[in-house]
Amino acid sequence: MTGTFPNISISTERLVLRPFEDLDVEAFAEMMNDELVTAWTTVPQPYTEDDARDWITRLAPAERADGRGIVFAVDEFLTQRLVGIVHLQNTDWRVRSSEISYVVAPWARGEGYASEAALATAQWLFHDQKFERLELRTAADNTASQQVAQKIGCISEGVLRGAWIARTRTDSGEWTDVRTDLIVWSLLPEDLEGVGDQPADGFTSFGDWN
């Protein structure tokens, strides 16, 4: 059985999670060219406006249409400025499970936006879509993203050894691949009880952004 997520928006006290628009291309490309995004995700570098446009107009809509997931642009409510992205992927409609990944723009870090957006997505997924499991994977060295997982109530389930290829700068300034472990986290509906009101903030978790 395969379903499709509705093409909706989600509001929090400070954020609006919404479908991407053509006007987001420039800001999205700038965000995805950040060094921490390069280090922890699979995005091509440099990430061009053509890459951003292809993601916004073709790849992201196809995720939802095919039932594989949904992509949200995350705006700051007061300024309507793009602060990040939340991506649900690898969705299993029979098991009622999905995997979350996210990116926060460099200028917006330290404000708790990552966990606020992730928590809002989880609440919507469990309450409105009646899902039973949300999964998150973080690199062993990505402590900021691990703090987000902990803050929204995720439980660490174990380590996938050598399961990810991160990127790091060499002494000459070039990017090189580095194999690393992944920590697997899960969130169930009952885990949301007692989640704190002050979100942590993080940089990126993982997803196939190509």
Rounded to a whole number of angstroms, the CA Rg of the chain reads: 16
**Does position 209 have pLDDT exceeding 50, yes or no?**
no
**Model-wide pTM > 0.85:** yes
Mean pLDDT of the 26-52 span: 94
Per the prediction, the chain carries an average pLDDT of 92
Q: How far is CA 174 from CA 4, 30, 35, 47, 95, in A?
A: 41, 20, 12, 16, 42
**Does position 200 have pLDDT exceeding 90, yes or no?**
no
**Does position 197 have pLDDT exceeding 80, yes or no?**
no
H or E segment and range at residue 117: helix 113-127
In the structure, what pLDDT confidence band is assigned to residue 2 with cuts at 50, 70 and 90? confident
Instruction: State the pLDDT at residue 1.
Output: 63
In the structure, what pLDDT confidence band is assigned to residue 84 with cuts at 50, 70 and 90? very high
Q: How far is CA 151 from CA 101, 147, 165, 196, 205, in A?
A: 15, 6, 25, 7, 14
Per-residue pLDDT tens over the stretch 6-28? 999 999 999 999 999 999 999 99
Question: In this structure, are residues 72 and 64 in contact, taking their beta carbons and an 8 Å threshold?
Answer: no
Mean pLDDT of the 35-63 span: 94
Question: In this structure, are residues 180 and 162 in contact, taking their beta carbons and an 8 Å threshold?
Answer: yes
Domains of the chain: 11-192 (3.40.630.30)
Closest alpha carbon to 52 in 67, 69, 37, 39: 37
Which position has the token pair 């169930």? 188
DSSP per residue, 17-66: EE---GGGHHHHHHHHTSHHHHHHS---SS--HHHHHHIIIIIHHHHHHT
Per-residue pLDDT tens over the stretch 126-141? 999 999 999 999 999 9
Check residue 204 and report its DSSP letter.
B
Q: SS3 of 8, please?
A: coil
